[in-house]
Amino acid sequence: MKDTVEIRWHGRGGQGAKTAALLLADVCFKHGKNVQGFPEYGPERMGAPITAYNRISDNELRVHSNIYDPDYVVVVDETLLETIDVTAGLSESGAIIINTPRPKEEIIPHLKGYKGAVYTIDARRISEETLGKYFPNSPMLAATVAVSNVMEKEEFLKQMEDSYRHKFSKKPEVIEGNMQALRMTFEEVQ
Amino acid sequence: MGIRERLSGNEAVAYAIKQVNPDVMPAFPITPSTEIPQIVASYIANGEMDTEFIPVESEHSAMSATIGASAAGARALTATSSCGMALMWELLYVAASNRLPLALTLVNRALSGPININCDHSDSMGARDSGWIQVYAENNQEVYDNFIQAYRISEHKDVHLPIMICQDGFITSHALANIELLEDDKVKQFVGEYTPENFLLNSKEPMSLGPYAVSNYYMETKKAQTEAMKNAKKVILDVGKEFGEMSGRTYGFFEEYRLEDADYAVVIIGSAAGTTKDAIDQLRSQGKKVGLLKLRVFRPFPDKEIADALRNCKAIGIMDRSESFSGQAGPLTAEVTAALYRYKVDSNIVSYIYGLGGRDYRAEDALEVFSELEDVTVNGKEIEQFRYIGLRSR
């Protein structure tokens, strides 16, 4: 792993890409890392494209610019592939992770010749099966951890369980669903 | 040892406010500072602090109520950004001239127009002549530390001036990052109780505040303000040193990063300093003698100290995140250049405007500035002395 891992998230307002970036920062912080998690703010509204970023490092993070040459890109909404240049600057030794039910072969032609690794995950199905609703956050977070190796999967599951217990202390019934979403993602991301 | 945490800049300031637990906080929401009163209001609702929160109907009223509370003898503060501060304008001068030691946590944002919610320093730089102490931060840690030092500076008997604790809108205010917090009792002990000398609710010594001053008196109040501002220099250094003894993080007027033997220097304020440091490390590894002066305190202006720190530089790029439309420099450049002239530092000065309205400032921008400074000095390249960087090419 190089000194600093840089991740760029593409989503639409209201889908939780910003929250996912903050959650990733949070879990890596608990893992002992130096972290940054920040959104790029514009005139935000539901459904509009948004970008969020993560830096994760063993060293002090001083840079405060956006990320132009990420190691990983996460696409929370696949309709963005048609309007946003999601692979711009993406390292070919890194990877792109896309939320889609479609097979990889159908997605690759939309990636403007990107030669690095491509991973897909059907976050909608996993979320609907485990939580009964469409919350792509947990699956996308798990897929990002699995692909980027920013931390061990077991450690990640343990930290997330702690977080969910804290966050959903008044709704314990959703904890197991979220944990199941993470585990299913680990098995299905490809 | 402090407490390892991760907080955004707004969360960090709100946490510092909770630990200081001032008496009164009137506030009106405006992006990107809204979270500060919002989080403080939650702390109060949860019984974690007992500050009197006053929801007001405008920023003009927010500053008026803060002034009223401070005049009555309370430790008071408010928070705002951009146009919110513009609406406080006349009251900024009232707070300073009445010598009220209140605090404003400002989250820097561009002024309209065009309307824009992102970072630049045009709000606080516009208020540079209002008589407030101004302290800026590179990151969440610094804005937290600065707020904890705020009242120790503003309430000092030789100062008695309002203080503005600034951070960069969104860039630090909304970015989650690691931070080291101090224990509550340490903060309490450091800040201490507020015992105002003169205050309106003191029935034993009735006084009047904010009266009309005829020409026979007005000018003396201005001289008194300027003396207080000069006194603030020593107090800021003393408090920054004492804070360092407590926390391990010592603060002065500015931070010098690899500046001691630098031929080429950048002078900058706020979060862009961190990005510049990365560029400097990159250039140093190639043998280039480059460094940074990150200004923390803009009011009072540490002119001689800046001149001394930059005395041996062959070229200096001074970076402004706000316009002043003089057509020749931004406000930081104008003041640094005046200081260099007064203290007879002869160097090539280039004035740069960057990052207006949230335009991203990248390490590549800093590399370009250093390369230009070298080109001007070594090759005698003639460039426009007042430049914009990071403009769109199409």
Min Cα separation B159/chain A (Å)? 33
Lowest mean pLDDT among A112-121, A125-134, A168-177, B126-135: A168-177
| Reduced 3-state DSSP string for B255-307 | EEECCCCCCEEEEECCCHHHHHHHHHHHHHCCCCCEEEEEECEEECCCHHHHH
Closest C-alpha to B338, from B302, B292, B294, B387: B302
Question: Could you report the per-residue pLDDT of B194-233, keeping only the tens digit for each?
Answer: 999 999 999 999 999 998 999 999 999 999 999 999 999 9
Residue B394 lies in a domain: no
Residues of chain B contacting residue A54, judged by C-beta atoms under 8 Å apart? none
Q: Are residues B221 and B271 in the same domain?
A: no
Judged by a CB distance cut-off of 8 A, whether residue A4 touches chain B is no
Min Cα separation A107/chain B (Å)? 31
A41: nearest CB among B118, B271, B363: B118
User: Count of domains in chain A?
Assistant: 1
Q: Do B170 and A25 touch (CB under 8 A)?
A: no
For the entire predicted model, the pTM comes to 0.97
Closest C-alpha to A86, from A50, A122, A126, A55: A50
Question: Could you report the per-residue pLDDT of B242-261, keeping only the tens digit for each?
Answer: 999 999 999 999 999 999 99
Domain hosting B320: range is 256-388
Q: Which tokens hold the place of A138?
A: 């947990």
Residue B338 near residue B318 (C-beta atoms within 8 A): no
How far, in Å, are B4, B116, B246, B383 from residue B1 at the CA level? 9, 40, 10, 49
Residues of chain B contacting residue A38, judged by C-beta atoms under 8 Å apart? 170-171, 174-176
Judged by a CB distance cut-off of 8 A, whether residue A69 touches chain B is no
Q: Are residues B226 and B271 in the same domain?
A: no
A64: nearest CB among B176, B178, B271: B271
- What pLDDT does A2 receive? 62
Residue B165 near residue B22 (C-beta atoms within 8 A): no
Min Cα separation A5/chain B (Å)? 15
Domain at B80, CATH number = 3.40.50.970
Disruptive mutation site among B176, B275, B292 for chain A (greatest number of A CBs within 10 Å): B176
CB burial of residue B233 (10 Å; 0-12, 13-18, 19+): middle
Q: Are residues B90 and B32 in the same domain?
A: yes
Q: Do A64 and B178 touch (CB under 8 A)?
A: no
Mean of pLDDT values over B54-66? 98
Residues of chain B contacting residue A3, judged by C-beta atoms under 8 Å apart? none
Mean of pLDDT values over B276-295? 98
User: Count of domains in chain B?
Assistant: 2
- What pLDDT does A44 receive? 65
Q: Are residues B209 and B133 in the same domain?
A: yes
Judged by a CB distance cut-off of 8 A, whether residue B281 touches chain A is no
Q: Do B172 and A65 touch (CB under 8 A)?
A: no
Q: Are residues B295 and B340 in the same domain?
A: yes
| Final residue belonging to a domain, choices B247, B279, B306 | B247
| Final residue belonging to a domain, choices B214, B247, B280 | B247
Is A1's pLDDT higher than 60? Answer: no
Q: Which tokens hold the place of B228?
A: 């207080």
Q: How does residue A3 score in pLDDT terms, banded at 50, 70 and 90?
A: confident
Question: What is the rounded CA–CA span in Å between residue B138 and residue B85?
Answer: 21
Judged by a CB distance cut-off of 8 A, whether residue A88 touches chain B is no
Question: What is the rounded CA–CA span in Å between residue A2 and residue A57?
Answer: 9
Question: Could you report the per-residue pLDDT of A71-118, keeping only the tens digit for each?
Answer: 999 999 999 999 999 999 999 999 999 999 999 999 999 999 999 999
Q: Do B363 and A65 touch (CB under 8 A)?
A: yes
Domain hosting A161: range is 4-188
Mean of pLDDT values over A31-60? 91
Q: Are residues B260 and B331 in the same domain?
A: yes
Residue B312 C-alpha from the chain's centroid: 27
Question: What is the rounded CA–CA span in Å between residue A123 and residue A138?
Answer: 8
Question: What is the rounded CA–CA span in Å between residue A180 and residue A63?
Answer: 36
Judged by a CB distance cut-off of 8 A, whether residue A22 touches chain B is yes
Hey, is B142 helix, strand or coil?
helix
B176: nearest CB among A35, A64, A65: A35
DSSP structural state of residue B357: G
Q: Are residues B210 and B316 in the same domain?
A: no
Q: Do B358 and A61 touch (CB under 8 A)?
A: no
Could you tell me which residue, B11 or A168, shows the higher pLDDT?
B11
* Average pLDDT for chain B: 97
Mean of pLDDT values over B361-365? 97
Mean of pLDDT values over A54-63? 97
Domain at A172, CATH number = 3.40.920.10
Min Cα separation A160/chain B (Å)? 16
Residue B32 lies in a domain: yes
